[in-house]
Structure 1
Amino acid sequence: MNRLDVIQALMNQKGLKNYLEIGVENGHIFFRIKSPFKVAVDPKFIFDAGRRFGKAILNPYNLNNQYFEKTSDDFFAQDAPNVFAEKKLQLALVDGMHEYHFALRDVENTLSYLDNDGVIIMHDCNPQTAGAAGRFEDWEAGEWNGDVWRTIIHLRSQRPDLTVFVLDCDQGLGIVTRHKSESVLDFTPTQIKALTYDDLVKHRQHWLNLKPADYFYEYFGLRR
C-alpha cells in the first residue's frame, strides 16, 4: 500500500473529492488523482506546460488543476483564502519540506481549510535509519525522510482534538482526522525538539501510534 492507494480508496469509497497536494515535484501522484478540484503547491515544479497538457489528455480531471509554484507558507498566506473560499478541502497530501516545523505548519494551515470529515495524509513519517531521519543540511545520501516523525509526536501531544496515527507502509503514512483521540502523548515542543533518532527507535510503536497497513481499511470502514 502506498499514498496513491490510500488517496484513491478514500476518494472512491468515502466520496472525498477536493484535493490539495503540498510537495508535488514531478506530479507522480498529483496527475493520477481523479478529482474535479485539485490544487498543486511546490516551490519548483519539475514539469512544464507540455507535460501538463499530456497529463490532461490521459486524465481529463487535470484540465481544471490549479498550480501554485511557491512555498506552502506563501500559498497559505497569499492564495488559500481565495482558493478555498467556496470549496472546503476534503483530502490533502502533505509531502513538502521534510522537517518538523515545516511539516507542522503545513498540517496546521491545511486544517484551517479542512472539512470536518476531511483527511490529511503525511508522507515520510517512519524513517528506518538515523541518516534518513535527520535534517536536510546533514543529509548525505540515500533515502531522506527528515524529522517529520517529530510532527507526529507534536500533534499527538498538543492536539487532542485530532486522531493521528502512522501506517507502516510507504516510508510511514501519517493519517490525521478531526476526531478526539483516545491515545495522546504529553511532550512539550521543547522536549520534542530534543528527542533523538535513538529515542524514536526505542519508542517507535507508541510514539508514532504505528499501525499495520491494513488498519487503514478498518479505521475508515473501507473494503479491501
Structure 2
Amino acid sequence: MNRLDIIQALMGQKNLKNYLEIGVENGHIFFRIKSTFKIAVDPKFIFDATRRFGKSIINPYNLNNQYFEKTSDDFFAQDAQRVFSAKKLQLALIDGMHEYQFALRDVENVLDYMDDNGVIIMHDCNPQTAGAAGCFNDWEVGEWNGDVWRTIIHLRSQRPDLNVFVLDFDQGLGIITKNKPESTLLFSPEQIKELTYNELVQNREQWLNLKSADYFYNYFDLQRP
C-alpha cells in the first residue's frame, strides 16, 4: 500500500473530494486524483504545460486543477483565503519540505481551512536510517525523509484536539483527523528539538503511534479492496 491507495480509498468510500497537495514535483500522485477541486502547491513544478494537457486527456478531472508555483508558506499567506472561501478542504497530502517546523506549519495552515471530517496525510514520517532522519543541511546521500517524525511527536504532544497516527508503510504515512486522540505524548517543543534518532528507534512504535493497513481500514470504516 502507498499514499495513492490511501487517497483513493478515502475519496471513493468516504466521498472526500476537495484536495490539496503540497510538494507536487512531477505530479505522479496529483495527476491521478479524481476530483473537480484540486490544488497543487510546489516551489518548482517538474512538468510543463504540455504535460498538463496530456494528463487532462488521460484524466479529465485535471482540467479544473489550480497550480501555485510557490512555497506553501507563501500560498497560505497570499492565496489560501480566496481559494478556500467557497469550499473547505476535505483531503490534503503534505509532502513538501521534510523538516519539523516546515511540516508543522503546513499542518497547522491546512487545519485552518479543513472540514471537520477532513483528513491530512503526511509523507515521510518513519525514517529507517539516521542519515534519512535529519535536517536537509545534514543530509549527504541516499533516502531523505527529514525530521517530519518530530512533527508527529509535536502534534501528539501539543494538540489534544487531533488524533494522529502513522501507517507503517510507504516510508510512514501520518494520518491526522479532528478527533479526540486515542493516546498522547508529553513532550515540549524544546524537548522535541533535542530528540535523537537513536531515541526514536527505541520508542518508534509508541512515539509515532504506528498502525497497520488493517487499522486504517477499520478506523475509517472502509472496505478493503
1:13 Cα offset (Å): 0.1
Partner of 1:13: 13
Alignment map for 1:52-71 (pairs within 5 Å):
52-71=52-71
Partner of 1:206: 206
For 1:200, what is the secondary structure of its paired residue?
helix
Residue identity in the other structure for 1:143 = E
Task: Determine whether 1:2 maps to 2:2.
Answer: yes
Partner of 1:142: 142
Partner of 1:29: 29
Alignment map for 1:149-160 (pairs within 5 Å):
149-160=149-160
Partner of 1:190: 190
Deviations 1:114-143 (A, max 9, x none): 000000000000000000001111111111
1:212 Cα offset (Å): 1.2
Return 5+ residue gaps in structure 2 as ranges: none
Alignment map for 1:175-186 (pairs within 5 Å):
175-186=175-186
- Quote the Cα distance in structure 1 between the aligned partners of 2:140 and 2:188: 30
Residue identity in the other structure for 2:50 = G
Residue identity in the other structure for 2:9 = A
For 1:214, what is the secondary structure of its paired residue?
helix
- Quote the Cα distance in structure 1 between the aligned partners of 2:158 and 2:112: 16
- Quote the Cα distance in structure 1 between the aligned partners of 2:28 and 2:182: 35
Deviations 1:165-204 (A, max 9, x none): 0000000000000001120001000000000000000000
Residue identity in the other structure for 1:17 = K
For 2:216, what is the secondary structure of its paired residue?
helix
Partner of 1:44: 44
Residue identity in the other structure for 2:156 = R
- Quote the Cα distance in structure 2 between the aligned partners of 1:79 and 1:14: 27
Partner of 1:162: 162
Return 5+ residue gaps in structure 1 as ranges: none
- Quote the Cα distance in structure 1 between the aligned partners of 2:189 and 2:49: 42
- Quote the Cα distance in structure 2 between the aligned partners of 1:44 and 1:112: 24
Partner of 1:217: 217
Residue identity in the other structure for 1:86 = A
Partner of 1:130: 130
- Quote the Cα distance in structure 1 between the aligned partners of 2:149 and 2:166: 9
1:65 Cα offset (Å): 0.1
1:214 Cα offset (Å): 2.0
1:112 Cα offset (Å): 0.2
Identity %: 81
- Quote the Cα distance in structure 2 between the aligned partners of 1:161 and 1:24: 28
- Quote the Cα distance in structure 2 between the aligned partners of 1:4 and 1:140: 28
- Quote the Cα distance in structure 2 between the aligned partners of 1:219 and 1:141: 37
Taking structure 2 as the reference length, what is the TM-score of the superposition? 0.99
